Amino acid sequence: MKKFDKDRVLLGLAAPVLSVLGALIVTGLVLLASGKEPFHAFHVMLTYGSKSDSQVYILNKATPYYLSGLAVAIGFRMNLFNIGVDGQYRLAAFFAAAVGGSMSIPGVIQIPIIILTAMVVGAAWAAIAGVLKVTRGVSEVISTIMLNSIAGIVIGFFLQDGRLGVTDKLANTITTKPIPPGSHLFNFTTQTDPVVGFIVFAGLAGVVYWFVLSRTRFGFDLRSVGRSDSAAQASGVSVKKMVVVSMLISGAMAGLVGMSTLLNQSYQFSTDFPAGIGFTGIAVALLGRNNPIGIAIGALLWAFLERASNGLEFEGYDKEIVGVIQGAIVLAVVIAYELVRRYGLARQQRQVGAELAAAGSDDKQEVTA
Amino acid sequence: MRRVSKIAAAGVVSAALALTATACGSSTTSDSGSTGGSGSASSSSSGGGGKTKGVGMAYDVGGRGDHSFNDSAARGLDKADGELKLDSKELTAANGETESDRVQRLDSLAAAGYNPVVAVGYTYGTAVTTVAKKYPNTTFGLVDSVVDAPNVDSMVFATEQSSYLAGVAAALKTKTGKVGFIGGVQNTLIGTFDAGFAQGVKDTKPSVQLTREYLYKTDPRGFNDATSAAAKAQGMLDKGVDVIYTAAGLSGDGSIQKVAGKSGAWAIGVDSDQFQDPALAKYKNSILTSAIKNVDVAVYDLINSVKKDNKPKVGTNSYDLANNGVSLATSGNFLSDVQAQIDAAKQKIVSGQIKVSSTP
């Protein structure tokens, strides 16, 4: 039995290792094909990505990626494909910024209000897709991706002079009113740039995610619906309720994605607020296999790759090569997990077969005896 | 079956081994690398010369090769490079960047010793403010925005004036009486193109109908999304619009391509003389003219002032029709029949008889 566990750990590690390696090989081939030397490129990425200011950058960048990955993973666990994290977090950050900019009360009260606003807005936006799914059978893939687009339009509508926006004539940007300095979240000072304080909240969110999904009745219900909704229904779980509730939680988690940028860096929502993190989250959740620690590793890897792309560009490589690496990793992850799963299955069958054969030969012996 | 899984197992094991091997290899080489070059990661590529570094260019999304805005800045660099033999470094922004990405880009250029550091595009405004404070001995150039600092050259262009002339040309050349404007992002900057174009059309032929479309309300990817520009242009062409002016950086390629697909329709390019662009050569017979923004002149001036005259050009420098900072292209000679009217309009703007509004 002990040996069996060790094998399982090996099998579990095999897939991510295989996929990263596969991605590196693919990237190496692409670099070779474009007439560049691949090993030097990987070397540049490692040295540049491990410098102290790079480490800070990676942590800061991984924070929203991690939250985004968690938000997507909640849906994945339910067999729900929440592509709408992107729209949910942008809308959430926008309204949170608007609320934060319109108040000036002590930060101890205001920061929680801002964060709560973001969670509520994110949850509400995701709930639209959830309700549509249970009442009208609309696929959440379709509705969330359309809601992304609608979120952008809603923001564009409100982010105008005279509504919730303030035009900065010289900088060509429109922003919400800045959040007063009293409500800026703490940062961790380092030798170089500060590390965002929101990283603490992201870590907490990971713990909550783990606890709720694997240590509570609710989490069990959620996972059982994900495995087989008919079986869950039979055991007394209301599948419809679970769909809406998990979309709400996923949306609330998505609401947190923009908070590190808002409370630690920009203090306002402007036209150049980072977009697309929701889609990064899908890749990160896939990479982390919905496991809170796996997602953290995925988020850090993603941030590292993006940081390393700057180093590559400085050395005369095309920074787009990092996009190739990221794409190859996602593809390789899917393939590698399938390979390892099949291998595990075959191994299990073989073991059972061997046991049966052993039992069978015993019988034969008895007969012949 | 059994053999297959054995092969798979062998693969997994060798893969794991190979990964650890490569990881070890890189870390040892990285050690030797960092002892070799004491400075930054750039030492190996810059040829190891002990001389001062050249120009650090930080492009906006699209980068060198956008046939438009960034290329115009790149031409300024190339011209200075040809004369002064500079060892320069060019970096480009990606879609969906944050403020810290832009700060990092400028910071790394300044830290590596590049001077001047030119930030191409208004999105760098805040980043230039931050980094210019940190490196007071480096001169920064900022295109399209104004930062009030002693070591910053803010280059602003009266693009509403060149767009006005584009509007005059469009109004005189349209056969259907319908012209279109496509903007990359609905902001103050693109508003100046929109306003100038609209005023030029209206002053020339009030009967001409103008359709305005923007690709994105706020997202800067509007300058790097040729597909959506193509869709907007197609929509306009289907409605009978036959002259389309696109102010959207690299996205403009999509629009020009669609316009070229319809005979009798004209595209008006922006920022660079897009008729001359080799990448757009296939479509050049549909490019009526371009509202040129001579970012190259401004960038060249700045590099020259730092590298040759040792007297950095700083402060807010405006480029307009009067000092040839903006102009309307004549290559292709498609405008020869109406050139007189365009020149007349230009004279009126230069003399101040026509005031072009910069807000739509």
The pLDDT tens digits of the residues spanning A130-159 come to 999 999 999 999 999 999 999 988 998 898
Write down the pLDDT at residue B26. Answer: 30
Q: Measured between CB atoms, does A353 come within 8 Å of chain B? A: no
Note which residues in 92-111 of chain A have CB less than 8 A from chain B: none
| Percent of chain A scoring above 90 in pLDDT | 50
**What's the gap in Å between the CA of A207 and the closest CA on chain B?**
27
Q: Measured between CB atoms, does A261 come within 8 Å of chain B? A: yes
Q: Measured between CB atoms, does B27 come within 8 Å of chain A? A: yes
Q: Round to whole Å and give the CA distance between A293 and A312.
A: 28
| CA-based torsion, B164, B170, B173, B174: positive or negative | negative
User: Which one of A276, A314, A340 has the shortest CB-CB distance to B89?
Assistant: A314
Q: Which residues of chain B neighbour A156 with C-beta distances below 8 Å? A: 186, 216-218
Q: Which residues of chain A neighbour B122 with C-beta distances below 8 Å? A: 171-173
User: Which one of A10, A274, A346 has the shortest CB-CB distance to B96?
Assistant: A274
pLDDT level of residue B23 (50, 70, 90 thresholds):
very low
Write down the pLDDT at residue A338. Answer: 84
Note which residues in 176-235 of chain A have CB less than 8 A from chain B: 193
Burial (0-12, 13-18, 19+ Cβ within 10 Å), A363: exposed
- Which of B24-28, B128-132, B315-319 comes out lowest in average pLDDT? B24-28
Whether pLDDT at A6 is above 90: no
Q: Measured between CB atoms, does B7 come within 8 Å of chain A? A: no
Q: Round to whole Å and give the CA distance between A293 and B156.
A: 49
> Closest residue of A to B190, CA-based?
A172
Whether pLDDT at B47 is above 60: no
Q: Measured between CB atoms, does A310 come within 8 Å of chain B? A: yes
Rg over alpha carbons for chain A, rounded to the nearest Å, is 24
Q: Half-sphere exposure of A201 toward its Cβ, with a 13 Å CA cutoff?
A: 24
Q: Which residues of chain A neighbour B92 with C-beta distances below 8 Å? A: 313, 319
Q: Round to whole Å and give the CA distance between A264 and A239.
A: 39
> Using an 8 Å Cβ cutoff, are B294 and B136 in contact?
no
Q: Round to whole Å and give the CA distance between B342 and B113.
A: 45
Whether pLDDT at B37 is above 50: no
Of the candidates A71, A84, A200, A195, the one whose C-alpha atom is nearest the C-alpha of residue A138 is A84
CB within 8 Å: B91 and A21: no
Whether pLDDT at B208 is above 80: yes
**Residue A192: what residue type?**
T
Residues with Cβ < 8 Å from A212, sequence gap 6 or more?
A: A218, A219
Whether pLDDT at B30 is above 90: no
Whether pLDDT at B6 is above 80: no
Note which residues in 248-287 of chain B have CB less than 8 A from chain A: none
Q: Identify the three-state secondary structure at position A46.
A: helix
Q: What is the mean pLDDT of residues A240-267?
A: 94
pLDDT level of residue B261 (50, 70, 90 thresholds):
very high
Structure tokens at B317: 């420098």
Burial (0-12, 13-18, 19+ Cβ within 10 Å), A185: buried
Q: Identify the three-state secondary structure at position A173.
A: strand
Write down the pLDDT at residue B17. Answer: 42
What domains, with CATH codes, occur in chain B?
A: 53-157 (3.40.50.2300), 159-293+325-351 (3.40.50.2300)
Q: How far apart are the first and last CA of chain B?
A: 71
Q: Identify the three-state secondary structure at position A167.
A: strand
pTM of the prediction? 0.78
Whether pLDDT at A69 is above 90: yes
Whether pLDDT at B286 is above 90: yes
Q: Measured between CB atoms, does B358 come within 8 Å of chain A? A: no
Q: Identify the three-state secondary structure at position A165.
A: strand
**What's the gap in Å between the CA of A66 and the closest CA on chain B?**
17
Whether pLDDT at B153 is above 90: yes
Write down the pLDDT at residue A171. Answer: 60
User: Which one of A10, A155, A339 has the shortest CB-CB distance to B8?
Assistant: A339
Residue found under tokens 């004549």: B330
Which of A20, A58, A149, A173 to mutate: most B Cβ within 10 Å? A173
Q: Measured between CB atoms, does B35 come within 8 Å of chain A? A: no
Q: Measured between CB atoms, does B105 come within 8 Å of chain A? A: yes
CB within 8 Å: A313 and B91: yes
Q: List residues bridging with B58 in a β-sheet.
A: B91, B119
* Largest interatomic CA distance in chain A: 98
Write down the pLDDT at residue A12. Answer: 73
User: Which one of B30, B99, B105 has the shortest CB-CB distance to A43?
Assistant: B30
Q: What is the mean pLDDT of residues A67-95?
A: 95
Q: Round to whole Å and give the CA distance between A330 and A285.
A: 10
Which of A172, A257, A265, A267 to mutate: most B Cβ within 10 Å? A172
Burial (0-12, 13-18, 19+ Cβ within 10 Å), B265: buried
Of the candidates B273, B349, B317, B330, the one whose C-alpha atom is nearest the C-alpha of residue B157 is B317
Q: Which residues of chain A neighbour B220 with C-beta distances below 8 Å? A: 271-272
Question: Which CATH code for domain A61-316?
Answer: 1.10.3470
Burial (0-12, 13-18, 19+ Cβ within 10 Å), A236: exposed
Q: Which secondary structure element, helix H or strand E, spans residue A338, and what is its range?
A: helix A321-368
Write down the pLDDT at residue B4. Answer: 45
The pLDDT tens digits of the residues spanning A178-187 come to 999 988 999 9
Whether pLDDT at A34 is above 90: no
Q: Half-sphere exposure of B7 toward its Cβ, with a 13 Å CA cutoff?
A: 5
Write down the pLDDT at residue A5. Answer: 64
CB within 8 Å: A172 and B122: yes
Residues with Cβ < 8 Å from A319, sequence gap 6 or more?
A: A309, A310, A312, A313, B92, B94
Write down the pLDDT at residue B97. Answer: 80
DSSP state of A325: H
**What's the gap in Å between the CA of B285 and the closest CA on chain A?**
32
| CA-based torsion, A346, A347, A348, A349: positive or negative | positive
Of A115 and A326, the one with more pLDDT: A115
Q: Round to whole Å and give the CA distance between B26 and B32.
A: 10
Q: Round to whole Å and give the CA distance between B71 and A88.
A: 36
Q: What is the mean pLDDT of residues A332-341?
A: 85
DSSP state of A182: G
Burial (0-12, 13-18, 19+ Cβ within 10 Å), A361: exposed
pLDDT level of residue A170 (50, 70, 90 thresholds):
low
Write down the pLDDT at residue A366. Answer: 52
Q: Measured between CB atoms, does A155 come within 8 Å of chain B? A: yes
Structure tokens at A177: 């009113």
Buried b (16+ CB within 10 A) or exposed e, B50-66: eeebbbbbbbbbbbbeb
Burial (0-12, 13-18, 19+ Cβ within 10 Å), B202: middle
- Which of A107-121, B26-40, B112-126, B331-345 comes out lowest in average pLDDT? B26-40
Note which residues in 313-352 of chain A have CB less than 8 A from chain B: 313-316, 319, 339-340, 343, 346-347, 350
Q: Which residues of chain B neighbour A321 with C-beta distances below 8 Å? A: none
Whether pLDDT at B3 is above 70: no
Write down the pLDDT at residue B35. Answer: 33
Residue found under tokens 């309307």: B328
* 3-state SS, one letter per residue, for chain B: CHHHHHHHHHHHHHHHHHHHHHHHHHHHHHHHHHHHCCCCHHHHCCCCCCCCCCCEEEECCCCCCCCCHHHHHHHHHHHHHHHHCCCCEEEECCCCCCHHHHHHHHHHHHHCCCCCEEECCHHHHHHHHHHHHHCCCCCEEEECCCCCCCCEEEEEECHHHHHHHHHHHHHHHCCCCEEEEEEEECCHHHHHHHHHHHHHHHHHCCCCEEEEEEEECCCHHHHHCHHHHHHHHHHHHHCCCCEEEEECHHHHHHHHHHHHCCCCCEEEEEECCHHHCHHHHHHHHHEEEEEEECHHHHHHHHHHHHHCCCCCCCEEEEECCCCCCEEECCCCCCCCCCHHHHHHHHHHHHHCCCCCCCCC
- Which of A206-210, B64-68, B117-121 comes out lowest in average pLDDT? B64-68
Q: Round to whole Å and give the CA distance between B33 and A48.
A: 11
